Amino acid sequence: MKRLINVLCATTVFATVSVLGASAQDKAKVFFLLPNQTTIRFESRDAPFFIEAMKQKAPDAEVVVQNAGGDPAKQQAQVEDAIAQGAKVIVLTSADANLAAGSLAAAEKAGVPVVLYDHDAVGGKADAHIVFDSLAVGREQGKRAAELIQAMSKSTVKVARVKGNQGEYGTTQYEAGQNEFLKPLIDSGKVLVVCEQYTQNWDPVLAQSFAEDCLTKNGGDVDVFIGMNDGTTGGSVAALISQGAKPGDKLVTGGQDATVEALRYVAQGWQDNSVLKDLKVQANYAADVVASIVAGNGVPKDLINGKVNNTFMDVPAVFLPVSNITKDNLADVLKAGVWTWPEICKGIETTDICKSNL
């Protein structure tokens, strides 16, 4: 059975990067703790962008990047080790938001500020949360899916919903945003949800297995797969490929992150869209917040424009804007400086859009 190998290509579990500046003993240590290798953006994009931003904003800091490999217990051990090493700030992308309370408690007890990055972390103190507006992401996904479904001539469109990690703030917000547009279609009978499932730790392999099982259970009669990020949509695409489908046979929508793999699927017609989150912008805002804390000035109040309730407190949030990318505006990712045409078109040079732009 074909698996989504390209989504699992990241292999680096630990990396330590020192930002140029003062001597090592004088550096303030900032730990950037990543959740897993299955969502490849964190190691391939976010960490390098954050390191580069910190070089400019806090040159006397040392950035240490570690990856929990999807293991919340391992991540808590990394938090405790960061504290033991004298961390000035911990930037945390939780491996599992629902199992992060111990990490937050350990940091609070040690007096180490925690800045949440992208993922939320439930049940403890955090100083700030740098995140794209999750409800807006869900709305973009739902609006796009609804437009495509309404354009279908079928009286009833059979839909599979491939959701994110259950209980996470992001997942609940994406679902709420999608539902604003999908629920009226469900209530009217235009949409029949034939399968739906949360995807533990956003694992693309689990998303693929779910999509395959859904196709088997329904005798292949599934019109639309709606995901919540490029890993879950990529799992649906891999399921279709494994069962001999061709681009356009089924609609796959609901992408998010604008990974290069997803954009290749968009260019080929396997996937309809991906919500662009400019990761360089996110990393730069995170560096602004961390640099301010390192300098002793706390979280910059002028950057806070919202809050995320994590059941323990309302965490001050820096909400960032999003936009939807389809084949029609694929060039927008180049304008944002996220990818280049040679990167997007690697291996798919014969597609029409790549022939037009290479």
pLDDT-based confidence at residue 291 (cuts at 50, 70, 90): very high
Task: Please check the confidence at residue 199 and state whether its pLDDT lies above 90.
Answer: yes
Number of neighbours of residue 103 by Cβ within 10 angstroms: 28
Instruction: Return the pLDDT at 51.
Output: 98
State in Å, rounded, how far the first CA of the chain is from the last one. 33
Task: Please check the confidence at residue 28 and state whether its pLDDT lies above 90.
Answer: yes
Helix/strand/coil percentages in the chain, nearest 5: 45, 20, 35
Q: List the CATH code of the domain at 5-132+278-320.
A: 3.40.50.2300
> Which one, of 68, 176, 53, lies nearest residue 121 by Cα?
68
Strand order in the sheet with 191-197: 191-197, 157-162, 224-226, 251-253
Task: Please check the confidence at residue 24 and state whether its pLDDT lies above 70.
Answer: no
Query: Average pLDDT of 183-200?
Result: 97
In the chain the beta strands, taken as DSSP E runs, fall at 14-18, 28-34, 61-67, 89-92, 114-117, 128-132, 157-162, 191-197, 224-226, 251-253, 255-256, 274-276, 306-309, 314-320, 323-325
Task: Please check the confidence at residue 14 and state whether its pLDDT lies above 60.
Answer: no
Give the residues across from 63 on adjacent strands.
17, 30
> In whole angstroms, what is the distance from residue 120 CA to residue 247 CA?
35
Instruction: Return the pLDDT at 123.
Output: 95
CB 51 within 8 A of CB 18: no
Instruction: Return the pLDDT at 315.
Output: 97
pLDDT-based confidence at residue 162 (cuts at 50, 70, 90): very high
Instruction: Return the pLDDT at 1.
Output: 40
Please name the helix (run of DSSP H) or strand (run of DSSP E) that holds residue 319, with its range, or none: strand 314-320
Q: Residue 158: helix, strand or coil by DSSP?
A: strand
For the segment 234-276, what is each residue's pLDDT rounded down to a tens digit? 999 999 999 999 999 999 999 999 999 999 999 999 999 999 9
Show the tokens assigned to 255: 């992408």
For the segment 57-72, what is each residue's pLDDT rounded down to a tens digit? 999 999 999 999 999 9
pLDDT-based confidence at residue 169 (cuts at 50, 70, 90): confident
Query: Average pLDDT of 195-205?
Result: 95
pLDDT-based confidence at residue 204 (cuts at 50, 70, 90): very high
134-277+323-357: which CATH number, 3.40.91.50, 3.30.870.10, 3.40.50.2300, 2.40.30.10? 3.40.50.2300
Rounded to 10°, the helix 279-294/47-57 angle is 40
CB 132 within 8 A of CB 113: no
Residue 330 identity: L
Show the tokens assigned to 61: 């800091």
Q: Where does 121-247 have alpha helices with state H?
A: 134-150, 169-188, 204-217, 230-242
The greatest distance separating any two alpha carbons of the chain, rounded to the nearest whole angstrom, comes to 68
Q: Domain segments of the chain: what residues?
A: 5-132+278-320, 134-277+323-357
Number of neighbours of residue 188 by Cβ within 10 angstroms: 9
Mean pLDDT in the chain?
92
Same fold, 5-132+278-320 and 134-277+323-357: yes
> In whole angstroms, what is the distance from residue 169 CA to residue 126 CA?
14
> In whole angstroms, what is the distance from residue 155 CA to residue 357 CA?
38
Task: Please check the confidence at residue 11 and state whether its pLDDT lies above 60.
Answer: no
